[in-house]
Structure 1
């Protein structure tokens, strides 16, 4: 299997727009049917050996799970009583995907309501009416999952070196990125005027890292890191390698390393890990985070093992 296969933004834009909406529909079901967790950790998808999963949700006696099988290109709904139903992803519009999923949920006696419009997307056509987004290139969707899986493996390795509060490595369907977040331990005073998504996500100081597939503003895939709230001077901190940059983003800055530059590196995995660590160290220095005290090199906190 090729490490970090090519994924030009423009090559799969139509498929990406469709798949993004498919994941938002399922993600909104997850949001409605799962207990709320701090910083919205209940909401994202996790990866499986075949695609993406919501993980089990619902109550103890009416559990169900929704999986994107991106090898067979099927959406699979499993109920806790053993019933299962699925349908093909190929050939679906957003409207037909929405209708098919909710028909299955209704047949299974699962009553869940969602806000059935896209979140934070330019085209906010209600899902049930969206016949425009219907592109689904199976090979490109499979490559999307392969890249997610490979990047997740690198992020898991990065996560191992931190023993403080940290999120899982998870895939946010609203922003279509894969992320892992480290918490410095400091509480943040959040403006009551901020939206509730932001207030919950950033109620504590964080240094986050991840990967996204590109958007209209930055039409290329990239690895990223940011510190929130951003301390003064962060964008003047050095990054590694020297082709990584700080980019302005919504009044703050992202540390950015383009995916295609990583693909061309002699050691892509070491390049990503070095970049993420340099961005973390930049945030830790500027926030006064106790980086040494929160370290767990190679995932080890055992005081007898780590000093050998």
Structure 2
């Protein structure tokens, strides 16, 4: 599986451009979808060809937006059968794409006003003014899609042990990660005034997933993050698996890079073991009250 290896610096320009494209679709869901806890209403979903919004309530009929990374186009379709496609091409700026995106929504009968300011992005230019980001490397995009499909398989394998409420892997447009979540059912308010975080963290949970890296951590990696957050694993280092995994106290997260995961004979199994070991360590430090009932 070495041919799918891809770190952020290798495709940064494309990653940033597509990240911003996908934010537009996520923001449409923010405006139109019924609100759910943990921002579940704004997630995008992985399919064999790319990422889709799933059904979104529309003006005259529901619609969906599919980023097809095999055909390299964005496909808009409503419940009346109206279709509009936008090609994904190198050289098309975020501003130019935004104009096409807005037009496509109008053509399928559901024009939507969105916040044009990027979320959780290090270089936040408003969509309609961003001529800086305009890269689309088809080879890198296909590798990223394969990364996510591989990650989905590992997360699905890990989640089979749980009987409790879980969120199956989905894409979060703010941080560009494919993430699943296991919930304890116990309330745990965030405790600080933050419009994003206090909705994301309101009960005890264990979040794990994959993201392609960023300017602060350039390696594509699998991660696991307990909430309430932990700052130390208190001598439980030997429980963390596989041997190349690590805990970063400054980020309060467990990490296993994609490169290290692919170095094992059965990468998917090792990633699933990584998620499980982080959860087991978390339970030794802050055990859930009803853990025996959810496994």
Give the Å deviation of 1:189. Answer: 3.0
Which residue pairs with 1:185 in the alignment?
185
* Mapping for residues 1-308 of structure 1, pairs under 5 Å: 2=1, 5-59=4-58, 61-91=60-90, 92-191=92-191, 193-231=192-230, 233-234=232-233, 236-238=235-237, 239-250=240-251, 253-289=252-288, 290-295=290-295
Change (3 A) 1:84 1:3: farther
Deviation track 1:70-100 (CA, whole Å, cap 9, x = no partner) reads: 1010000001111001010113211111100
CA distance in 2, matches of 1:69, 1:42: 21
Paired residue secondary structure (2:67): strand
CA distance in 2, matches of 1:235, 1:57: 45
Paired residue secondary structure (2:103): helix
- TM-score w.r.t. length of structure 1: 0.90
- TM-score w.r.t. length of structure 2: 0.94
CA contact (8 A) 1:166 1:180 kept: yes
Structure 2: state its 5+ residue gaps.
Answer: none
Give the Å deviation of 1:231. Answer: 4.4
CA contact (8 A) 2:231 2:250 kept: no
Paired residue secondary structure (2:11): helix
Give the Å deviation of 1:233. Answer: 4.4
Paired residue secondary structure (1:196): coil
Question: How many pairs were matched up?
Answer: 291
CA distance in 2, matches of 1:4, 1:182: 31
Deviation track 1:167-193 (CA, whole Å, cap 9, x = no partner) reads: 1210111100011111122101332x4
CA distance in 2, matches of 1:249, 1:231: 10
Paired residue secondary structure (2:165): coil
CA distance in 2, matches of 1:39, 1:128: 29
Give the Å deviation of 1:69. Answer: 0.6
